[in-house]
Structure formats: C-alpha cells, structure tokens
Structure 1
C-alpha cells in the first residue's frame, strides 16, 4: 500500500537492468532492448564483419570512452560512448553524431544499424 502522496517509480527499459556483457568488452545487440544476436568485442575492432550495420543496442563495459563508427577502420560519422554506459535503442534520437573531422552532424541524432567499427 502506498502512502498518501507517494509516487510510484516506473523503470524505463534503459534503466530496468544492466545487460550481460563481459568485463573489458563492448557488447552490441542486433535488436533494441539488448535482444537478438550479441557480439562481445575488445575495445578496438576495425571491422564488425558479419555484424556490420546491425547494432541496435549496446553496453560499453570497457572502462574507457569509445566511439561507434559508421565505416570500417574507425572512419566516417561516429558517436561517443562513455565508460560503463549502456543504451537500449540506437534508433532513439538521443545521440550527438559527429563527422569524422569532429564537426557536428546531428544532435540529437540516431545511430541504428550503421556501426561498422569500434574504438
């Protein structure tokens, strides 16, 4: 029973639970909500191979800032991911997307199904 005036807290999908991801890796999932096929990568991976352009959610469990890049070999537009940060849906327009030269592309912007390299 809630006390009068008490608020009921409802967790968003992003705050519901920390997804399973091995220490010192970045994990990418093919669907939002950390569902579907998952890949665990060392902190720098120049090509995602068969997982290219499939990432829809992630967890950076490396302890370092990382970038998700739209092209192989750490090139093209990118978003920065703080250490320990996870997000449930890269299709959300919640990210600052930058050109390879660091200039702003979109803020807020989305980065769903475009990641090809990570570092």
Structure 2
C-alpha cells in the first residue's frame, strides 16, 4: 500500500478478466400436442358417437346448455346424439354434466374442466342421481346421455 499525506491509499483495483460468454443451447420449439379428437376450440365440449373420440361428433360452446339431444344432429350423418354418446372431451375451464334425461334430468356424470373420457363403457365412472347421491361407482354411462350443461 502506498502512503500519501499520512493516509494509506488502497491498492488499485485489480482487473478481473471477463468470464467467457455462456453458451446457450436452443432447441426447436416442440410442436403442440394435437387436440384430442379434433376438439381444438377453447370453451367447447365435444361429444363423439364412438369410443376413443371417433365417429360422428358434435361440438358445443360450454356456455350453452343443451336440453335435448334428440334435436341435435351430428355433422357427418343425419342422426341425433340422443342416447349415443360414447366419448367426451371437455376443452373448457368449467365442469360439465352429461344427463341421462332430457331437460338436464335423471342420473348424470360430471366431466371435469380440461378432462377427457375416451370410453363411457368403462366401468370406472361415478354416476350420480339427480339429487347428487351416488347411483353407481364404478359405473358406466355409454349411450345414455340426452342433455348437458356446465356447472
């Protein structure tokens, strides 16, 4: 240390060499996953006549209740969805209920927001009575839906 006018001077700061620039590795962005069963519109519920999201289908905005599937025709064939839904995609932020009866009546299943059910035959569903009590668990709900609504 040098002394000047009775005060010690701090040594000059040492220069530290700059670290080499970090190497960044970038990968091509991943392709987004294909929408299940072609259900690619947000806030839609997609119903399919066949399991595994196959066959004739119909998409519904989640904000609209559908009280009678007998009046709903699929786009591919001129048949109704009543008592013929076998798989479901809920591409919304709301839970939906599929009801056995028209007018949102009878037994129902609830499909959670963002969830899919590839096969309503599978006896892993909780089927509820209209009052919310459990009708069967595990149960199935294939080919019985007649109405739907978000909850």
TM-score (norm 2): 0.65
**Post-superposition, which runs of at least 4 consecutive aligned residues in structure 1 deviate over 3 A?**
none
Q: Give the 3-state SS of the residue equivalent to 1:33 in structure 2.
A: helix
Alignment gaps of 5+ in structure 1: 1-16
Instruction: Provide Cα deviations, 1:76-95, integer angstroms capped at 9, x if missing partner.
Output: 00001100001110000011
Q: Shift of residue 19 of structure 1?
A: 2.5
* Corresponding residue number in structure 1 for 2:57: 38
Taking only aligned residues, the RMSD between alpha carbons, in angstroms, comes to: 1.5
Rg larger for: 2
**Alpha-carbon distance in 1 for matches of 2:47, 2:67:** 15
Post-superposition Cα deviations, 1:2-60, rounded to whole Å, max 9, x if no partner, equal: xxxxxxxxxxxxxxx73221221110100101110001112221111221011000100
* Residue of 28, 35, 43 corresponding to 1:24: 43
Between Structure 1 and Structure 2, the one with more strand by share is: 1
TM-score after normalising by structure 1: 0.82
Task: Report the Cα distance in structure 2 between the residues aligned to 1:94 and 1:52, rounded to whole angstroms.
Answer: 22
For 1:56, the equivalent position in structure 2 comes to: 86
Q: Distance in 1 between matches of 2:46 and 2:113?
A: 12
Which residue of structure 1 aligns with residue 6 of structure 2? none
Report the number of matched residues.
104
- How many Å separate the matches in 2 of 1:34 and 1:108? 21
